């Protein structure tokens, strides 16, 4: 008969140990015996047990103290207390310490078999959740955050350290460095991955007059157009994490309400009068200097300090060129799989040199789109130089433009013919990207810098599928 699980019996009465072994062994359980608490702890520290049957009244350190020590060794240990003196106080004390259940002597055989089976089932579910959490964590780490540079190893270490905590985290870095990826990794590496959702909010994409309703919800009739009540994203994220990207775009009145959520762990939907408690971890991100925003009066100082408990800074890709090769290989795998291709991850020296020499103003996001394009248009099973965009092959034409924006200089070989509209589109895309980089992703400022109205710029961004 296959074994149902490992059981440790700790009881000072020999007859009780014999009874439990005779009862459990024929049922398929592997049973070990210990005469007192100290011996039981020694066995427990040497071997993995699915459940422990523990007598309350024993010589030596006693049952309740043994229970405490068992849970120190394994916080998920499933322990059933057995006692002939099952007073209410004893049962409560054991359950408060973390016991799974309490059984009184003498007991019915079927009753204890049912309790043991239930305890082991609970243990199996706990183990499954732990495996799932580890799988999620490994999946996020392997498929999202890539890089072996010292800067990225420091980021990995910080994620591992802060994930179990509940403190707010501020992720900083230029556009395209992977701030949301870090936020997701923090959530899925934490216990909150089991208890709640990860909710991502790009604050710059929501009109300021609608942002409070999106975050905190509203009642029916709270404002014109509120034809029904709506749950806010903080309530959706209850028990989990909420990621507030582009935090500097939040208007002052919403900043005040956000501060209250952090301080009081509660919010009030628009149109309501009763506050609602919420358990949400806030992870914020920005590609601008929050300290300067505070000094300029654009961001509340008290909110800044509440958000900046733990800061994780993502360096630009140009400052960690050692990560370009593993990132490129990762994106080749990803987009080969998505597009039904089977491209080699081997990168030729000339392609790698071109990738490493390019400044990547759009950071990892730009590298990803460049490799996605290369995978799609590759004519062989390997990415070659002609798969790369022209500006990557001519990095001097892709450098920053100082205080203004102008078209990147490119030498175009008219003798062999060109696609006029393709070249115009390429220049437009590069101009828009540079304007967005110079303004920290602020579309209104970028439009002003380019001499366009907001609607025209927004239309071009969508048309060219430019990630902001």
What do you get for the CA distance between the two ends of the chain, in Å? Answer: 61
- Domains 149-315 and 319-399 in one fold: no
Q: Is the pLDDT of residue 67 over 80?
A: yes
Closest listed residue to residue 216, CA positions, set 263, 168, 167, 276: 276
What's the fold here for domain 407-468?
Answer: Arc Repressor Mutant, subunit A (1.10.10)
363: phi > 0 → left, psi -120 to 50 → alpha, else beta; which? left
Highest mean pLDDT: which range of 270-284, 301-315, 403-417 = 301-315
pLDDT at 398: 43
Mean confidence (pLDDT) of the chain: 84
Q: pLDDT tens-digit profile of 129-181?
A: 665 554 455 444 444 578 888 888 899 889 989 999 989 999 999 999 999 99
CB-based burial label for 354 (10 Å; 0-12, 13-18, 19+): middle
Query: pLDDT band for position 347 (50/70/90)?
Result: confident
Q: Does domain 319-399 have CATH number 3.20.20.80?
A: no
What's the fold here for domain 5-131?
Answer: Rossmann fold (3.40.50)
| Phi (first) and psi of residue 47, to 5 degrees | -145, 155
Q: Is the pLDDT of residue 104 over 80?
A: yes
Helix or strand holding residue 47 (H, E) = none
CA distance 352 to 78: 54
Query: pLDDT band for position 300 (50/70/90)?
Result: very high
CA distance 243 to 246: 10
Closest listed residue to residue 163, CA positions, set 137, 197, 129, 128: 137
Q: pLDDT tens-digit profile of 249-264?
A: 999 889 999 999 999 9
Domain boundaries, the chain: 5-131, 149-315, 319-399, 407-468
Choose between 236 and 208: higher pLDDT: 236
CATH code linked to domain 149-315: 3.40.50.300
SS3 percent helix, strand, coil of the chain, rounded to 5, is: 55, 15, 35
Highest mean pLDDT: which range of 107-121, 138-152, 388-402 = 107-121
pLDDT at 144: 57
Average pLDDT over residues 72-100: 81
CA distance 183 to 158: 12
């Amino acid at each position: 008969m296959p074994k149902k699980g490992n059981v440790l019996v700790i009881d000072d009465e020999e007859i009780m140990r014999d009874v439990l072994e005779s009862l459990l062994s024929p049922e398929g359980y592997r049973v070990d015996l210990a005469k007192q608490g100290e011996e039981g702890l020694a066995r427990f520290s040497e071997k993995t047990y699915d459940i422990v049957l523990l007598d309350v009244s024993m010589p030596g350190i006693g049952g309740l103290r043994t229970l405490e020590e068992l849970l120190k060794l394994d916080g998920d240990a499933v322990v059933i207390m057995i006692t002939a003196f099952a007073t209410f106080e004893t049962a409560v004390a054991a359950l408060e310490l973390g016991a799974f259940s309490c059984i009184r002597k003498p007991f019915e055989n079927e009753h204890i078999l049912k309790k043991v089976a239930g305890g082991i089932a609970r243990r199996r579910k706990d183990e499954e959740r732990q495996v799932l959490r580890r799988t999620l964590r490994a999946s996020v780490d392997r498929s999202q955050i890539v890089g072996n540079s010292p800067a990225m190893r420091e980021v990995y270490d910080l994620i591992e350290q802060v994930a179990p905590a509940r403190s707010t985290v501020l992720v900083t870095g230029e556009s395209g460095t992977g701030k949301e990826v870090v936020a997701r990794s923090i959530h899925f590496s934490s216990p909150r991955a089991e208890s709640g959702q990860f909710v991502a909010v790009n604050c710059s994409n929501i009109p300021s007059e609608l942002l409070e309703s999106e975050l905190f919800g509203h009642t029916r009739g709270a404002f014109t157009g509120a034809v029904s009540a709506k749950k806010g994203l903080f309530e959706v994220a209850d028990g989990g994490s909420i990621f507030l990207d582009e935090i500097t775009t939040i208007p002052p009145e919403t900043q005040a309400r956000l501060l209250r959520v952090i301080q009081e762990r509660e919010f009030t939907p628009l149109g309501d009068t009763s506050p609602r408690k919420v358990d949400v971890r806030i992870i914020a991100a920005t590609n601008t200097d929050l300290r300067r925003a505070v000094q300029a009066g654009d961001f509340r100082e008290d909110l800044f300090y509440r958000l900046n408990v733990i800061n994780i800074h993502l360096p630009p890709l140009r400052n960690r060129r050692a990560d370009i090769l593993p990132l490129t290989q990762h994106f080749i795998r990803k987009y080969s799989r998505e597009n039904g291709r089977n491209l080699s991850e081997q990168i030729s020296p000339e392609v790698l040199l071109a990738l490493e020499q390019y400044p990547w103003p759009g950071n990892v996001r730009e590298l990803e789109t460049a490799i996605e394009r290369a995978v799609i248009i590759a004519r062989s099973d390997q990415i070659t130089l002609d798969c790369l965009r022209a500006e990557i092959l001519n990095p001097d034409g892709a450098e920053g433009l100082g205080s203004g924006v102008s078209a990147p200089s490119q030498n175009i070989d008219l003798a062999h013919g060109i696609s006029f509209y393709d070249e115009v589109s390429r220049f437009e895309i590069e101009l828009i990207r540079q304007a967005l980089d110079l303004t920290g992703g602020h579309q209104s400022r970028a439009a002003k810098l380019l001499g366009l109205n907001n609607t025209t710029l927004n239309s071009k961004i969508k048309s060219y599928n430019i990630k902001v």
